[in-house]
């Protein structure tokens, strides 16, 4: 079985030999990048930072784009993949997370993730100074910036931008436990997970006080914080909840609405421009690079998945090309502010190979039921993206950061530490939270609920009604 696939691995590997040449050709024409730093807190810089109208305008739009990724983007992507008796449950899960995590974020989530703290908690989680956004005025400049130290955005825009990231991360996990979870169990689990897993990991990687940030881990837009974090939680949930009850001999369920899958994937792609190009927190050249590499990696991965389908199963599939595009977007996320367009093509072409292999071969062999491949796409794509950032980071994009191929192999080691720490923490905490919710409220839907469908049993609604 594996041998059957091995012959196809030659193609992307061969391409990856050729593509670095293109990368260097492009890099040599690039102008010398400005010396910039990753997210750092305000230090007493001599020019007083102020709110730039241009940067603010772009970041408000970017924030709205990121919201579009959860509802309706991810909601339709996942909703189209499940059976018609469960689509409303998926849409509802995405919608309620948008509501409830947003509230959690302003109450204390933002403060835990991005606030400062003292004592033994300092490198692991922020305190409560900014709870209820206490002390953040409408004219305050954001303490966080990437390349624009002086021309900043309002602190409140940064809060909102990060809020959308906090919303989408637990929503990604939905793909793993789709079609067999009790709604109340899901809701409590997701809120606890956001508080106890997302907020600390965001603090580790992005807060100026975070231990992975201080170590020098690179994660431009959330490959580790969002995708690996959610991907590992997804794997744990899929294993612990157990398989869906499917008719005997059936392992796969046909998607109920593939056009929805396409609309969802396309909206994710579109929204991802805000996610990645917004993560520079400014409308500048770095944002332009993130915009470019995000698009090209998605295109490469979509093409690569379609070709794999075509070679291996004889037909290019619509679910396949949509999945490939999402995998490409996942993989470029941590790298978007550090790599050039040539690297983006390689990252995109290869991520589909890894994810395709994972969902079509490995998942079947291991036998866990990750209904919609949240781990296979976000976990595997995120891990590849984090490694790729350590390999391909180019000083021509941000002069302070180089990867192994630019003569800094240490960066790869740091990336591996960040990946390992996130896998370990997210994995262990997800097991604990699952057990707590299972013992208290119950989390697995009953067999009858599962067979009747979660739409009618959890929400008393049916998606497609015949009544006219």
Q: Which positions ≥6 away from 27 have C-beta within 8 Å?
A: 340, 342, 394, 396
Least CB distance to another protein at residue 322 (A): 10
Output the furthest CA–CA distance in the chain (Å, rounded). 70
Q: Which is nearer to another protein, 315 or 439 (CB)?
A: 315
Site size toward another protein, by CB under 8 A? 23
Distance, in Å, from the CA atom of 237 to the CA atom of 232, rounded to the nearest integer, reads: 9
Told to check if 10 binds another protein by CB under 8 A, we report no
Told to check if 31 binds another protein by CB under 8 A, we report no
Told to check if 179 binds another protein by CB under 8 A, we report no
Q: Which is nearer to another protein, 234 or 393 (CB)?
A: 234
Residue among 41, 364, 407, 442 that touches another protein (CB under 8 A): 364
Told to check if 146 binds another protein by CB under 8 A, we report no
Q: Tell me the DSSP string of 122-150.
A: TTT---STTGGGTT--TTPBPS-BSS-SS
Residue among 360, 399, 408, 452 that touches another protein (CB under 8 A): 360
> Which among 31-39, 56-64, 187-195, 315-323 is the span making contact with another protein, rule CB under 8 A?
315-323
Least CB distance to another protein at residue 17 (A): 25
Q: Which is nearer to another protein, 186 or 375 (CB)?
A: 375
Shortest CA distance to 54 belongs to which of 243, 220, 283, 329?
A: 283
Q: Which of residues 382-411 bind another protein (CB under 8 A)?
A: none
Residue among 332, 359, 418, 445 that touches another protein (CB under 8 A): 359
Told to check if 247 binds another protein by CB under 8 A, we report yes
Told to check if 367 binds another protein by CB under 8 A, we report no
Residue among 317, 399, 408, 452 that touches another protein (CB under 8 A): 317
* Residue 218 tokens, joined: 């690179």
Least CB distance to another protein at residue 19 (A): 24
> Which among 39-47, 186-194, 354-362, 399-407 is the span making contact with another protein, rule CB under 8 A?
354-362
* Residue 116 burial (C-beta neighbours within 10 Å; 0-12, 13-18, 19+): middle
Least CB distance to another protein at residue 361 (A): 8
Residue among 2, 18, 28, 315 that touches another protein (CB under 8 A): 315
Residue among 34, 214, 245, 251 that touches another protein (CB under 8 A): 251
* Residue 350 burial (C-beta neighbours within 10 Å; 0-12, 13-18, 19+): buried
Crossing angle for the helix pair 285-313 and 318-332, to the nearest 10 degrees: 140
Q: Tell me the DSSP string of 55-108.
A: HHHHHHHHHHHHHHIIIIIIHHHHHHHS-TTSHHHHHHHHHHHHHHHHHHIIII
Shortest CA distance to 380 belongs to which of 357, 355, 362?
A: 355
Q: Which is nearer to another protein, 15 or 361 (CB)?
A: 361
> Which among 27-35, 167-175, 358-366, 452-460 is the span making contact with another protein, rule CB under 8 A?
358-366
Q: Which is nearer to another protein, 87 or 159 (CB)?
A: 87
Q: Tell me the DSSP string of 374-431.
A: HIIIIIHHHHHHHHHHHHH--TTTSTT---GGGT-THHHHHHHHHHHHHHHHHHHHHH
Residue 357 host element (H or E): helix 341-357
* Residue 8 burial (C-beta neighbours within 10 Å; 0-12, 13-18, 19+): middle
Q: Are 462 and 455 in contact (CB under 8 A)?
A: yes
Told to check if 3 binds another protein by CB under 8 A, we report no
Told to check if 373 binds another protein by CB under 8 A, we report yes
Q: Are 334 and 354 in contact (CB under 8 A)?
A: no
Fill in the per-residue mask, 254 to 283: x = in contact with another protein (CB under 8 A), - = not in contact.
Answer: xx----------------------------
Residue among 312, 417, 441, 451 that touches another protein (CB under 8 A): 312
Told to check if 319 binds another protein by CB under 8 A, we report yes
Number of residues that make up the chain:
468
* Residue 59 tokens, joined: 């970041």
Q: Which is nearer to another protein, 187 or 355 (CB)?
A: 355
Q: Which residue has the tokens 């040599």?
A: 28
* Residue 113 burial (C-beta neighbours within 10 Å; 0-12, 13-18, 19+): buried
Residue among 10, 137, 249, 367 that touches another protein (CB under 8 A): 249
Crossing angle for the helix pair 199-206 and 155-177, to the nearest 10 degrees: 130
Q: Is the peptide bond before 72 cis (omega within 30 degrees of 0)?
A: yes
Told to check if 2 binds another protein by CB under 8 A, we report no
Residue among 308, 339, 347, 386 that touches another protein (CB under 8 A): 308
Q: Which is nearer to another protein, 128 or 310 (CB)?
A: 310
Residues that bind another protein (CB under 8 A): 247, 249-252, 254-255, 308-309, 312-313, 315, 317, 319-320, 323, 356, 359-361, 364, 373, 376
């Amino acid at each position: 079985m594996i041998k059957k696939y091995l012959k196809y691995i030659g193609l992307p590997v061969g391409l990856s030999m050729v593509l670095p040449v293109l990368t260097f050709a492009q890099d040599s024409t690039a102008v010398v990048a400005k010396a910039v730093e990753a997210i750092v807190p305000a230090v007493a810089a001599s020019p007083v930072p102020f709110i730039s109208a241009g940067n603010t305008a772009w970041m408000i739009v970017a924030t709205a784009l990121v919201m579009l990724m959860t509802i309706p983007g991810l909601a339709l992507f996942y909703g189209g993949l499940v059976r018609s008796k469960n689509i409303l449950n998926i849409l509802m899960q995405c919608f309620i997370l948008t509501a409830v995590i947003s509230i959690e974020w302003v109450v204390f989530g933002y403060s835990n993730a991005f606030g400062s703290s003292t004592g033994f908690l300092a490198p692991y989680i922020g305190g409560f100074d900014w709870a209820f956004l206490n002390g953040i005025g409408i004219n305050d400049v954001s303490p966080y910036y990437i390349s624009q130290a002086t021309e900043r955005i309002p602190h409140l825009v940064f809060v909102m931008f990060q809020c959308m990231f906090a919303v989408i991360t637990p929503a990604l996990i939905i793909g793993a436990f789709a079609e067999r979870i009790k709604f109340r169990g899901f809701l409590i689990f997701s809120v606890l997970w956001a508080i106890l897993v997302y907020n600390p990991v965001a603090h580790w990687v992005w807060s100026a006080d975070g231990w992975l940030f201080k170590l020098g881990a690179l994660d431009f837009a959330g490959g580790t914080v969002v995708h690996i974090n959610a991907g590992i939680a997804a794997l744990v949930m899929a294993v612990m909840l157990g398989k869906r009850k499917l008719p005997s001999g059936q392992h796969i369920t046909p998607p109920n609405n593939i056009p929805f899958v396409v609309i969802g994937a396309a909206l994710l792609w579109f929204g991802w421009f805000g996610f990645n190009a917004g993560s520079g927190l400014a409308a500048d050249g770095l944002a332009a690079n993130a915009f470019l590499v995000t698009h090209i990696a998605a295109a490469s991965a979509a093409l690569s998945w379609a070709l794999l389908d075509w070679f291996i199963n004889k037909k290019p599939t619509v679910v396949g090309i949509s999945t490939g595009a999402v995998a490409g977007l996942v993989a470029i996320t941590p790298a978007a502010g550090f790599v050039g367009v040539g690297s983006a093509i390689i990252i995109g072409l290869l991520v589909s190979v890894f994810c395709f292999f994972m969902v079509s071969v490995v998942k079947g062999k291991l036998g866990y039921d990750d209904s919609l491949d949240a781990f296979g796409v976000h976990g595997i794509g995120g891990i590849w993206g984090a490694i790729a950032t350590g390999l391909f980071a180019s000083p021509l994009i941000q002069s302070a950061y180089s990867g192994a191929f630019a003569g800094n192999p240490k960066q790869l080691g740091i990336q591996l530490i960040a990946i390992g720490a996130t896998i370990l923490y997210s994995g262990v905490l997800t097991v604990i939270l699952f057990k707590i919710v299972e013992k208290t409220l119950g989390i697995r839907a009953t067999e009858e609920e599962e067979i009747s469908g979660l739409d009618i049993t959890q929400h008393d609604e049916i998606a497609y009604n015949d009544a006219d």
